[in-house]
Amino acid sequence: MEAAASQALEDASAAGDGPRLGDAEFQFLRKFVLEHCGISLGEHKRQLVQGRLFRRLRALGLKEFGSYCELLRREPHGELGELASVISTNVTSFFREVHHYDLLATELLPRWLEQKRGAGDRLRIWSAGCSTGEEPYALAMVLAEAIDKHGARGVDAKILATDLSPQALETARRGVYPLERLGGLSDEYRRRWMRRGTGEYEGLASVHPRLRELVTIQALNLLHEWPMTGPFDAIFCRNVVIYFEQSTRQRLFQRYARLLPVGGYLFLGHSESLHGINDDFELIGRTVYRKRR
């Protein structure tokens, strides 16, 4: 129902029933979004931006896009997360691009857990651009299974999940999903790692408390300073850089490389590549890279 209402608002704006996004306002938004989010908005995105921002104007009680631009000038950081949520598409699911999780489960985690247990080191995975939480919780399922299978409960293992969108982070922290969003989970994983709601929570499922213990969720703008210093054993940055221009991608991957040890892993989305962008990594599988120097 909510999605239908939102779509109706977008359609109303696109059809001319709402305020129009003028040239000056669109150029300001393009510059603002590129500077603060690293996202490049082409001219062909004007109607999309107009339709999506119309909902935000309604929520703020604003009647014109010019008023929204003034708000961004006055409070750029306060509204940044909301704007990023509006202009980006959060398409995610549990165990999306399952070959990444298979590699973790069958090869990487068994090796890492054995090494960490012997050396007393910690194991860290970063889900950068975690959206509504399906990715980090799926990683936590695989990690918890591996810990139990290999008797590694004593290993300090954690997953950091970050995103810029406040709405996405709210959903991730809540860890409650409609049953139709669990399509990527096997029946066994649903029984083991999800708790079905009853009564007023019928049709919903929440993640197992153990998964919450493994996942730390934080707000982070990838273009700003990062509070963490690493090292991470693996970084998942999937379907994030598709929104960024080339120079932003180059800087981001250089920063990732500094947080990974030699032999650390970087996982990208199915349409993303480091070819011609960064040579710190070698491609070892489908959208799987390993730091080589």
Residues acting as catalytic residues: 52, 163
Residues 82 and 103 in one domain: no
* Full domain range(s) for residue 189: 98-291
In this structure, are 8 and 118 located in the same domain? no
Model pLDDT, residue 90: 65
**284 contact partners, CB below 8 Å, separation of at least 6:** 290
pLDDT for 13 beyond 70: no
In a domain, 231, yes or no: yes
Domain end call among 87, 110, 141: 87
Q: What interhelical angle do 65-74 and 23-37 show, nearest 10?
A: 30
**Strand 194-196 relative to strand 204-207, pairing:** antiparallel
Q: What DSSP assignment string belongs to 19-79?
A: ----HHHHHHHHHHHHHHH-B---GGGHHHHHHHHHHHHHHHT---HHHHHHHHHH-HHHH
Let me know if residue 92 belongs to a domain: no
Percent of the chain with pLDDT over 90: 70
157 plus 134 within the same structural domain: yes
- The answer on pLDDT for 264 being more than 80 is yes
Q: What is the mean pLDDT of the chain?
A: 90
Same structural domain for residues 221 and 154? Answer: yes
Q: Are residues 37 and 108 in the same domain?
A: no
- Residue range 267-288: mean pLDDT, rounded: 94
Q: pLDDT by residue (tens digit) across 174-226?
A: 999 999 999 899 999 999 999 999 999 999 999 999 999 999 999 999 999 99
**Mean pLDDT computed over 135-162:** 97
Same domain, 200 and 284: yes
pLDDT at position 14, please? 45
pLDDT recorded at residue 10 = 44
219 bridge partner residues: 163
Answer yes or no: is 93 within a domain.
Answer: no
Residue 107 class from Cβ within 10 Å (0-12 exposed, 13-18 middle, 19+ buried)? exposed
- Report how far Cα 204 is from the mean position of its chain's Cα atoms: 22
Same domain, residue pair 58 and 102:
no
Within this chain, do residues 102 and 71 fall inside the same structural domain, yes or no? Answer: no
Point out the domain boundary residue: 87, 113, 143: 87
pLDDT exceeds 90 at position 4: no
- CATH number for position 11: 1.10.155.10
Indicate if 81 and 153 belong to the same structural domain.
no
Domain identity same for 9 and 128: no
List the CATH number of the domain containing 227: 3.40.50.150
Asked whether residue 241 is domain-assigned, the answer is yes
Q: Does residue 71 fall inside a structural domain?
A: yes
Q: Is residue 203 part of a domain?
A: yes
Can you tell me the distance from the alpha carbon of 266 to that of 147, in angstroms, rounded to the nearest whole number?
Answer: 21
Question: What pTM was computed for the model?
Answer: 0.85
Do 193 and 245 lie in one domain? The reply is yes
Q: Which of 32, 61, 87 is the last residue of a domain?
A: 87
pLDDT at 72 over 70: yes
pLDDT at 118 > cutoff 70: yes
CA distances (Å), origin 50, targets 7, 31, 91, 190, 198:
12, 15, 20, 39, 40
Query: For the chain, what is the domain count?
Result: 2
138 and 193 in a common domain:
yes
According to DSSP, the residues that pair with 178 across neighbouring strands are 204
